Structure formats: structure tokens, C-alpha cells
Chain A
Amino acid sequence: MTTATLPTRRDEAWRYADMDGLKRLGAAALDQWQAIDVPAGENLTRCLVVGSNAPEVQRLRVTLGEGACAAFFAVNRGGDYTRFEVEVRLARAAHFEFGGVTIGGAGVTREFVTQVTHAEPEATSNQTIRAVHWAGATGNFLGEIKVARHAQKTDAAQDFKGLLLEAGASANAVPQLEIFADDVKCAHGATVGELDEAARYYMMARGVDPATAQRLLVQAFIGDAFVALEDEAERERLLDAALAALEGANL
């Protein structure tokens, strides 16, 4: 039995976390890991909406067999602290796809934390994270990619973009790459910006009101995270869950 203690900011993985939210959640909740096994050659797709009016932390450990494929698409929203964490181990030629959106205002903290281990050769992974925040809120993405010594022909990509709708909101991206093989491709990018005012004005000049223009631009921005999701109904559900957070944002 483990003694449950709360992490501190000195732990790299919890550096930007909402410590007050964690305290209210309780240390025991952090010990809850959900294990998911995807056997060789099989496919798994999961769509999740994380967040409510209480702190919420979800932690997954995913193991992919040879040639298996797992895709997770998540929206991180709600009225309190949210953190969605995935640890993935990829066997030969497996693929991990992750699309995540953090969205919110009202000073909340949202986190995606991924650790993707390419344990065997020829596995691929692709992560697309979009963060949209305002009113003092924070979106964090901590993404670690580990490539084992023999995991040649690994192809891993990580793409983070933050959109801050107001001054005072923030976004943190912490890519970490640990590569022990020499014939690999690991790409990562992170940018943070503001709403495209030229696009907003263009839309308004055509009669679109400012709130709708903003919603369309945010929708386009976060849509990148769900491009790989083929199920159109699920994609709509996730987009709606994310965009609902904008309602009443008073921007």
C-alpha cells in the first residue's frame, strides 16, 4: 500500500499544477490509474470530456502491442482544476494519436500531461494540443517522448498552440525529449498567440457579430486537435463541449 501524499511544485510534472485544486481533490485520488491494454494489431479510439465543477484528475496507462493503434481525443474544460494524463508504451510499429483541447477562463488551471515511450522500433506517435484561455486561466502541456535504445525508425511528433483571448491568461508548454536511438524523427513545436484581429475584422465586415466571429475562429483553432478523429458525430460532440465554455465568457 502506498502512502498517499500530495505532490509539490518541486516535482517537475506538477510544476504548473493547481495545488489548491489538488488539495481539495485529495492525494488518494492521484493514485488512481486506469490501465488500458491494446493487443497487437487492434485499434482503440476514445473521446473524453474532462472537467466539472470539482477538481478532476484522470490518469491513464496505455500499453500498445505490436502494430496496435490507440487514439485519444480529449477536451479539458469545466469550472475547476482539470488534469488529464496519459502514459503510453508503444511496441513495434504501434501508433499513438492524441488530440487535446484545454479551454477556460475564471482563473482555472488545465493540464495535459503525456509520456510516450517508443520502446520498440518503427512505432509512431502524433500529438496535437490546443489551449484557449482568458480571464487569468492557464493551459499547460507537459509532453515527454522517450525513445529506447533499439527503437530505430521511431517517428514522433508533438504540436502545441496556445491562444490567449485576454492579457493575464497564460499557456505553458514543456516538451521533453529523451532519445537513445539514432535513426529517429522527433518533431515538436510550441507557439502562443492572440486572436487574429484581421480575420475577426474581416468577418465583422461581412456582418458576423464579434462573439460569433470569435467562436468561429476558436473553433477553427481547436479543430486541428480533432482532425484525426474520423467519427464526425464524436468530433461535433467534442467541439460543442469545448465551445460551450466560451458562452458567457464576456470577452
Chain B
Amino acid sequence: MLEITNLHASVGDKPILKGLTLSIPAGEIHAIMGPNGAGKSTLSNVLGGKPGYEVTEGSVTFRGEDLLALEPHERAAAGLFLGFQYPVEIPGVSNVQFLREALNAQRKARGQEPLSGGEFLKLAKDKAALLKMDMEMLKRQVNVGFSGGEKKRAEMVQMGILDPAFAVLDETDSGLDIDALRIVGAGINSIMRAPDKAVLLITHYQRLLDVVAPDKVSILAGGRIVETGGPELALRLEAEGYDAVMA
């Protein structure tokens, strides 16, 4: 579903990704772990198309299409969802308005009819309930005044509503307490665990992987994938640390 081949990317003049290759087929949840500064967030930003990140070499193919040729909103319409490490606050715009615009823009790009206000609210209510989020919160401004945990839960509500084929989740577990981690993990399973979907899960900790069992785990270090294994690789990292495992 997602094929990353020999990807090199820079921020400014600084090369961060240095020949990253990774293939994630449909049905797979693939966790990426790695020390600070390894390039995990850069990978997620490059996949999302964030301005300021320059791809200098390599390719990314998503469902057979050249992902890097698409604008960020076109990537979303193609079925890619990016869970932000730091969700952005948008004063003056409500979650409901924002997400309805987003969903209907994606539907339009795919040649589907827009959802009516009533249909959208029903969908939003279902997905909010899945993440145990009060519908009142969705009527508030996007992420404004939300706690760190609420922001991450709101991201997952967004993911539920937009129903992507592929999700890149960048440290979705950071800032979550134990209960919220379970809720978010269960949300990921319920929304994304399907034969025709896949997830790239960027995380620092095993605890999210206890809830969202990954099919594969890769270690990203120095801008490249240095090792790929099964779930046991994450357990080894947790027990021994990066230095020992990569040595």
C-alpha cells in the first residue's frame, strides 16, 4: 500500500532522511521506533507534504500513485491521514465546521456526494463516542483549550470521521495518561485494523504497542531503517535500549 524507496529528505540544508526504504502492505500495522533525532517526525512530515521539507532523492508510492507529486490536501483525499504529534489550534473555527469541510472536500475530490449537516453530525457523534469524547467538545474551536490528551483523542475522532485507508500516527501516545492511552489505542484498532487499511505508528514506548499490537516493528536511526522485526523487537528495545539492540 505504501512503498518508500531510498528516501532522502532535508530540512533547510540539513539532510535528515538518508536512504530510507520501507514497504507497508494493506492489513499491516507497522511500528517505527527510534532514538531522538533519528528522523521519525521528518518521515511523517515528508509523507504529509509539510512545507519546508525537501525530498532530494528516492520515491514514495501510495496505492500505486506518486505520493510526493500530490499537495497535502490531495494526499488526504487519496486516503492518507496524518496524526499530528502537536495538533494545531485553530481559533474561531469549530471542530464540526472544520471536519465537515474536510470530509466533504475529500468526498468531492473522490467524486462522492457531500454529507448533509444531519448526516455529518450523526457520523461525528458515533466517532466521538468511540473515543469517549463529549460531543460538546466537537462544537468547540479546533484544539483550543484542549489538554494534551484531549488533543490526541480529538485527532483520533478526526481519523474516525475521515476514515482513511492509511494512517501515519506521529507519537499519538505522547501526553496521554494510562486510561486515555487505552481509549486511543482501542480507537486505532477499531478504526484502522482492517484488511484493506494500514498504519505507520511512530512511537517511543512499548505501552501503546501493548494495546495496538503491531505486525512489524522497525528501528529508524540516522535517517534509515536499520532493523525490522516482529513485535518482539519492541520488547527487546524496551528491555535493552537502542544502543544494545543496534550494536
Contacts and interface: CB of A to CB of B under 8 A. Distances in A.
Interface of A: 196-199, 201-210, 212-213, 216-217, 219-221, 223-224
B168 to A, nearest CB: 10
A201 B92 contact: no
Q: Do most interface residues of chain B lie in helix, strand or loop, or is the interface mixed?
A: helix
Contacts of A197: 51
Output the residue of B76, B89, B106 with the most chain A CB within 10 A.
B76
A205 B102 CA distance: 9
Contacts of A203: 90, 98, 101-102
Given A202-B84, A203-B102, A216 B97 contact: yes
Interface of B: 48-51, 71-73, 75-77, 82, 84, 87-93, 97-99, 101-103, 105-106, 109, 158, 162
Nearest to B48: A205
A220 B72 contact: no
A216 B101 contact: yes
A206 B76 contact: yes
Contact of B92 (A198, A205, A223): A223
Contacts of A223: 92
Given A197-B51, A207-B76, A220 B91 contact: yes
Given A198-B88, A199-B88, A217-B93, A208 B51 contact: no
Contact of B72 (A201, A216, A217, A224): A201
A205 B51 contact: no
Given A201-B50, A216-B93, A217-B93, A208 B101 contact: yes
Contacts of B71: 204, 210
Contacts of A202: 84, 87-88, 90
Contacts of A210: 71, 73
Nearest to A210: B73
A216, A219, A224, most chain B CB atoms within 10 A: A216
A224 B93 CA distance: 11
A209 B73 CA distance: 6
Contacts of A206: 73, 76, 98-99, 102, 158, 162
Nearest to B75: A205
Most chain A beta-carbon contacts within 10 A, residue among B50, B51, B84, B101: B101
A205 B142 CA distance: 14
A208 B73 contact: yes
A220 B102 contact: no
A108 to B, nearest CB: 25
